[in-house]
Amino acid sequence: MGKISDLAYNIGISLNQEDINAHRQTITPTAQTLQGLSTEDRLAYHANNQALLSENKEQLEGEKESGDGFWNKDYKAGKGHPQLKYDAGAGEWNSETASLQVYRDYGVAMTVAFGSPIYPDATAALRHYLSNSGENYQIDLESLMKDSGIAPIVQKEINYAQSFIEQNLTSKGTIDFHSTGARGAYAESKNWFYATGGVLIYGGGSATYDGKGNYTMDFNLMSYDRYNWDGGKSVTILGQKITDDQLGAMHRAGIAKEYNMYGAVPLRITWSKDDPKPKVVINTSQTSR
């Protein structure tokens, strides 16, 4: 084993429950891992969207099935969110006794979580898992939406919303709308692929038509993923191969915990019948719907 492997092994073999709790005290709070959170605008629109995240969380509780989510391109008038579902993951939390090997694997995971600055969002998500809180986690969707694997799906979501607005808002006025399903997408950058793998994208908001060919849409772009472990997969970070089975065993042993990952970005989108290409900006002034 190399130096990192030796360090990970030595940490893991020496860990007991008390040591693990001590390590958790050094884990960076989730909010501190979000890029740009120190700016006033970022704080404002994250605060505004917390109500949206909380509202959708209620629909997700207890909604478990095989496979994460579904594909649906339809929108409908009114306020609401699609019914999202997720798979059962690694099983019941704290249902097994932790073995020495599980503690060793935990040490390896801790080494990766604190030793890979080139994958900031991936390691932040792993640290949250190892913190064992199971609390909801807000990702930096503004960053994720620029990933080459996610951006085309975001564009499709916006285009479908535009089409719905044009078909249903034919005279001067305003309409509320929301997606009835979510689009699945896989991140292509290693940072975001290790953080989320696949993620569900959906949205809703309100739109106004001035009767002269000009549209303005306040669109809440949303994302959801369940940070869990299905088995049979693995990743290699810092030369360390980490499998879903190893990470899932920590959840069942009660020393780490699966959780829901949410993202929210309020967008202001404008276009016209003469120029249908959408112009998209972050809407820092938007309030929660």
| Per-residue pLDDT tens over the stretch 113-141 | 998 788 999 999 999 999 999 999 999 99
The set of residues, in sequence order, having a beta carbon less than 8 Å from that of 50 and lying 6+ positions away, is 288
In a domain, 184, yes or no: yes
Taking the CA atoms of the chain, what radius of gyration do you get in angstroms?
21
Strand partners, 186: 198
Do 138 and 263 contact (CB within 8 A), yes or no?
Answer: yes
H/E run at residue 266: strand 259-272
CA dist 276 and 179 (Å) reads 21
pTM to 2 decimal places? 0.76
What is the number of domains present in the chain?
1
Kindly give the pairing relationship between strand 137-138 and strand 259-272: parallel
In a domain, 8, yes or no: yes
Strand partners, 185: 199
In a domain, 287, yes or no: no
The low-confidence residues of the chain, meaning pLDDT below 50, are 1-16, 18-39, 41-49, 52, 55-72, 287-289
* 61 token code pair: 């509780």
Q: What is the pLDDT of residue 191?
A: 94
In a domain, 288, yes or no: no
* 55 token code pair: 């509202």
CA dist 10 and 104 (Å) reads 8
In a domain, 114, yes or no: yes
Do 200 and 184 contact (CB within 8 A), yes or no?
Answer: yes
Q: What is the pLDDT of residue 39?
A: 43
- For residue 249, the number of C-alpha atoms closer than 13 Å in the C-beta half-sphere is 16
The set of residues, in sequence order, having a beta carbon less than 8 Å from that of 230 and lying 6+ positions away, is 87, 89, 90, 244, 248
| Single-letter amino acid code for the residue at 23 | H
In a domain, 233, yes or no: yes
Q: What is the pLDDT of residue 235?
A: 73
Domain extent, residue 188, equals 3-282
- For residue 191, the number of C-alpha atoms closer than 13 Å in the C-beta half-sphere is 15
In a domain, 120, yes or no: yes
Q: What is the pLDDT of residue 142?
A: 96
